């Protein structure tokens, strides 16, 4: 699994360099906030539907999930029942408390997605990443639950858990925030002996 981390980190670094290169210096009182998160899990392959390219996996607590494997995974036929599939899922959030640039106002929502696969000679693996940058408006601040709800450029709402109490105290409904969200997932197979 660790040999595939470079694919994920490369994807995230590429995306973030595109967006960070365009980030503005914060002229306001509030500094930007960012957070990285990594979740790692494993599951045993319980069932495979080769026609639909679906794999049903049982997690360590007995929970089942069915994953659709895209055509970019060329070695799908190597997956067998009882293989252990490992997941690593990275997320990154950056909140910039500043006025949007004219370019951001013109294009208030930008999405980039990219993927990659392990080269021949390695265990089957794939990585997929996406970055979204949006000009959002703070709609609701739920201080007791530490949740902020923002409205995106298409009128959709997203609630975000906040860890920093002092930031919540400084936020105001109606405030504009430039929000960048990135995620990347790596899937790999570990053959069970």
User: What is the phi/psi pair of residue 161, to 5°?
Assistant: -75, 135
Helix (H) or strand (E) holding 13, with range, is helix 5-21
Select from 7, 2, 34, 41 the least CA-distant residue to 114: 7
Per-residue pLDDT at 22 exceeds 50 = no
How does the average pLDDT of the chain come out, rounded?
77
As a whole number, mean pLDDT of residues 33-56 equals 84
pTM greater than 0.85? no
Low-confidence winner among 39-48, 67-76, 116-125, 135-144 (lowest mean pLDDT):
116-125
Select from 102, 95, 183, 92 the least CA-distant residue to 138: 95
Low-confidence winner among 60-74, 96-110, 117-131 (lowest mean pLDDT):
117-131
Select from 126, 107, 110, 112 the least CA-distant residue to 187: 126
Select from 161, 169, 167 the least CA-distant residue to 145: 161
As a whole number, mean pLDDT of residues 147-159 equals 89
What pLDDT was estimated at residue 81? Answer: 93
The pLDDT confidence band at residue 190, using thresholds 50, 70 and 90, is: low
For residue 176, give the DSSP letter.
Answer: E
The pLDDT confidence band at residue 3, using thresholds 50, 70 and 90, is: very low
């Amino acid at each position: 699994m660790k040999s595939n981390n470079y694919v994920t980190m490369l994807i995230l670094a590429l995306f973030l360099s595109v967006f960070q290169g365009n980030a503005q210096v914060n002229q306001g009182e509030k500094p930007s906030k960012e957070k990285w998160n990594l979740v790692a899990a494993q599951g045993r392959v319980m069932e495979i539907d080769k026609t639909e390219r679906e794999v049903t996996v049982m997690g360590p607590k007995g929970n089942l999930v069915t994953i659709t494997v895209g055509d970019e995974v060329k070695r799908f036929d190597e997956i067998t029942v009882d293989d252990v599939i490992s997941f690593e899922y990275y997320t990154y959030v950056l909140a910039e408390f500043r006025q949007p640039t004219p370019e951001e106002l013109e294009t208030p929502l930008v999405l980039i997605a990219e993927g990659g696969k392990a080269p021949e000679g390695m265990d089957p693996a794939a990585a997929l990443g996406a970055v979204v940058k949006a000009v959002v408006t703070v709609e609701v601040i739920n201080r007791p639950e530490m949740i902020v709800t923002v409205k995106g450029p298409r009128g959709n709402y997203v609630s975000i858990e906040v860890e920093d109490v002092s930031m919540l105290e400084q936020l105001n409904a109606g405030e504009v925030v430039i929000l960048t969200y990135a995620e990347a997932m790596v899937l790999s197979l570990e053959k069970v002996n």
